[in-house]
Structure 1
């Protein structure tokens, strides 16, 4: 295997993280809800500057999701275009084009690789012993509400507490979302990748939510980049939904499924129309009800987090950060749940987003990238045309 690596170890001098060997292909596999979108946005925005420091971002987009889904034999989001092997091959060509330079790839969907065979194929095709796997982790108690509302954005109809009951109390804990524990039983995730890459080529980073830019600094150190080069990129579309917004969408999902509407319509009008426009147009205020996790689920998650930390500690991988955070109980996210009420302006923005998505052809710009005046004109012309045809 061709390589230009000059160091074999990753020494730590106090709090200083030594850079990975030159020529490493750093593979960030997530999993979901561990700062992936934030770091992907920062890496993509800084790709030209990184290149001047010898580090390449080979993908042509912020997140090469279709390529990774294809590599992991996963289907896309409901109603989206199906990923193909060609997506993956194109990404591999871009990675190979970086030659002997250091490069970095990030996708939380790598965590969905179904088995050791799929992982071995991914690692070998990305460079074999040049690949260093990076896993970012957060406490389960913080991941659960965020992951639930994300599942709702992809069509889930189950309420939060009912969903928690299925995930934590109903063996084999696979319904309605088999992907949850494949992603978030983090010890098993690390073990799968260690079996292929080896403990010496896997690093685990425990994300501390109190340090908002700590993950950026860790990536800079591992890649040998100047401190401060990676900066957060504002992205309203990445925010989590409030409880009221999620409940509105969950009930819409019920109606959508009951009426057996096409999945392509869900992708265009609901997820990329109503939800996207609502998230970009409405900023949650202090009065908005957040998704709160019941005490019994918090305690269960903390217990699982303790097991995860212990098993990861026994794998021999390098750990950056405080493993005790994985079993922390988040008091801010617990307590009695107030009645979620959707604000009229939020509902209006969601409705407008769906109408605008219906007016804009699916293959052109996304709705939230199109000026409101233009959307109104297009929608008006289409309605008038249909009336004339009738």
Structure 2
């Protein structure tokens, strides 16, 4: 194993490399994608291209990995993946960077080998970003809730950590977060000499940006964080409100398309954008037994990663560190009337902006309140007229 634990600036990758950042989820992927997309017009002067047409080419990657769409979304097709491949090939001899955490969901060696081959074979260098499992678990649970999960956090942890075969209700969790197995699968396809693992240090807020700059040969501070309130984590009260809504939604047999449009792409993003958590909001707290189980899993993963022959940047010991346990709060996780109203308005705005069955042209938070009220009023008048 080549380790750059003490090197502040890792050696740049060869010119013309196609850097494939596969996540996994909850390891800083959104921040990196936002920074790269914001700098995409500047990158070519330094010999680097960002070929995706959006910050995150999720549909293309879901199609490449033969993974289903998010709950209620339109299924991606091979056309999405082919379009991304065409854009990658159009970069010519420039280095390019493709980033999506959904590459971590590739189901088998054959799929991974095909992705590496289609993206350029020997030109591909795989980058994996890792964080301690104890920090990933609460973030991943609330993300699953945003896609329809109805199970509470402690029950979910029981299933993921204590109930063999540890696959229900979310088999994708260990597909993504048995990090040693994830890296081993991609190293078999790309070769261990073309795999770099970055252990993210949460105490260094900009460390991951600086690592990407070094690997791509970019000047320092070219990549800068882009504010993205829509990507913030939900509080415990917000997550529980959404989880209980999921129970009602599924219990009444409503269509998944409705959930996608009104909840995940309506209520949730509008609530995130309009309401910022305060110090008084209760965060998702992992029970002690799960916090203590995670470092052992991380230690075994770090040991196996060390034997794979891949380059490791950062301190693998971070993967097995026992995080500080936050102080217990005696306050109840209550959602404020304003937050509930914002979520409800987001759902109403989504209903007003797009008829069911028609793909939205833009997200709700990109549409003005005045316009949404006008559209909603117009539709109400039309319905009254028909009656």
**Normalised by the size of structure 1, how large is the TM-score?**
0.96
Are 2:275 and 1:278 equivalent residues in the alignment?
A: no
Equivalences, count: 382
What's 2:367 paired with? 370
Q: Separation in 2 of the partners of 1:17 and 1:310?
A: 22
Give yes or no for contact 2:35–2:224 (8 Å, CA) kept in 1: yes
What's 1:258 paired with? 251
Matches within 5 A, 1:82-161: 82-161=75-154
Give yes or no for contact 2:299–2:319 (8 Å, CA) kept in 1: yes
What's 2:318 paired with? 325
Deviations 1:72-131 (A, max 9, x none): 010111011101111111110000001111100000000000011000000000000000
Asked which structure has the greater RCO (Cα within 8 Å, sep 6+), the reply is 2
Are 2:244 and 1:248 equivalent residues in the alignment?
A: no
Matches within 5 A, 1:288-307: 288-307=281-300
Give yes or no for contact 2:126–2:195 (8 Å, CA) kept in 1: yes
How big is the shift at 1:11?
A: 8.8
Give yes or no for contact 1:36–1:106 (8 Å, CA) kept in 2: yes
Superposed CA RMSD: 1.5
Are 2:344 and 1:351 equivalent residues in the alignment?
A: yes
How big is the shift at 1:196?
A: 1.0
Q: Which runs of 5+ in 1 are unaligned?
A: 1-8
Matches within 5 A, 1:148-227: 148-227=141-220
Mean Cα deviation higher: 345-354 or 323-332: 323-332
What's 2:47 paired with? 54
How big is the shift at 1:15?
A: 3.0
Q: Separation in 1 of the partners of 2:212 and 2:124?
A: 15
Structure-2 change in CA distance of 1:334 and 1:193 (3 Å): farther
Structure-2 change in CA distance of 1:271 and 1:227 (3 Å): same
Q: Separation in 1 of the partners of 2:192 and 2:185?
A: 11
Q: Separation in 2 of the partners of 1:25 and 1:369?
A: 33
Q: Separation in 1 of the partners of 2:335 and 2:207?
A: 34
Q: Separation in 2 of the partners of 1:92 and 1:42?
A: 21
**Normalised by the size of structure 2, how large is the TM-score?**
0.96
Q: Separation in 2 of the partners of 1:337 and 1:74?
A: 42
What's 1:75 paired with? 68
Structure-2 change in CA distance of 1:11 and 1:245 (3 Å): closer
Deviations 1:163-202 (A, max 9, x none): 0000000000000000000000000001101111111000
